[in-house]
Amino acid sequence: MRPRKTTGTIEVIVEDPHGRVDPSALRDGISIDLGVPLALEASAAPIVILRVRVAVDGSAEVEVETENATRRRVISIPDDRSEATRILVLLGANLVRDESAELLSMLITRAPAEPSPDGAEDLDRPTSPATSALASPTLAEEYARAARHTSRLPEERSIRFSLSARVGGHATEETADPFFVFGAEFGFDIGTLVAVGITDLGFGGNLSSSDFAIAASGTPYLELHGFIDPRIELYGQVGVALQGRSQTAYDEGHFQVAAYLAAGARLYASNSFFIGLELAMHVVLTDAFLMGSISLPQGTTVGSAALSIGWTF
């Protein structure tokens, strides 16, 4: 069969003075993922330029430059050279698709097949870099597997919003009272591994005639997080639950505080959408804290579990 004819090129430039990634495998992986040959040397007129800059501190900047725009992402890469290469293949290919889908579709035009007179393929005809790379089963299988991970990668900056449902319980010698809390969360990454935010934003109350109270609550927190897989992010949070509430017959204060500790995981179904699972603990520090419709006295420690859905921007 005739080789593919290109109407332009994607040029991949790798700047890695410390050898943290495999530049040849990086180029071959991107070529296989996108299904196009790449220019290994500077091209006279590339329509897309993909630059990968790797620093000694474990960070990598991936930049896609087209005629009309430039897009960058900075991520933290693992120490393992092959895993770092695989992650950069995923990010680089996804950025090219996101930024230049129309240009990418113009890169390759397939020439009609012309069988040899004897019916056999002409093995002497040249092949593209992508076709040559596919001849290696190990490389092809590795990057075919990697290409299936189209989830969010650990970018350095993001804004997160989610809605959650929390269930817990307060047990005494006489009763075991469950509580339910519905709330919203806003989180802001301030570094590769660190975020700040506020969670459990919402309203609650005890509407019984003998102990009527309503409350507005929110929990500012500090978070440490990290990706163990392009689809799975683990995190831990520590914060203080703050609550303003109406007065009751028991003369409880209008302002209440509880210590907050949580750990959980976010499972990314796409680049931006995730489902969260969390376990948390609250310790009431003031005279009474409303958790859902349950009023918890000072010194109470309660556990809870939460399910959330959210988006990153």
Distance of CA 53 to the CA centre of its chain: 21
Reduced to 3 states (helix: H, G, I; strand: E, B; else coil), residue 113 is coil
Provide the pLDDT for residue 238: 98
Domain that holds residue 209: 159-312
Distance CA 118, CA 235 (A): 63
Q: What is the pTM (predicted TM-score) of this model?
A: 0.55
Provide the pLDDT for residue 121: 44
- Summarize pLDDT for 255-311 with one digit per residue, the tens: 999 999 999 999 988 778 999 999 999 999 998 888 887 888 889 999 999 999 999
**CA nearest to 75, candidates 234, 226, 263:** 226
Q: Calculate the average pLDDT of the chain.
A: 76
Spell 189-204 as b/e; 16+ CB within 10 A means b.
beebeebebbbbbbeb
Would residue 152 count as lying in a domain?
Answer: no
Q: 188 falls in which pLDDT band (50, 70, 90)?
A: very high
Q: Are 32 and 17 in contact (CB under 8 A)?
A: no
On whether both 117 and 88 belong to a single domain, the answer is yes
Q: Are 243 and 289 in contact (CB under 8 A)?
A: yes
**What's the CATH code of the domain at 85?**
3.90.950
On whether both 190 and 285 belong to a single domain, the answer is yes
- Summarize pLDDT for 20-51 with one digit per residue, the tens: 888 888 888 888 888 777 765 544 566 788 88
Query: Number of folded domains in the chain?
Result: 2
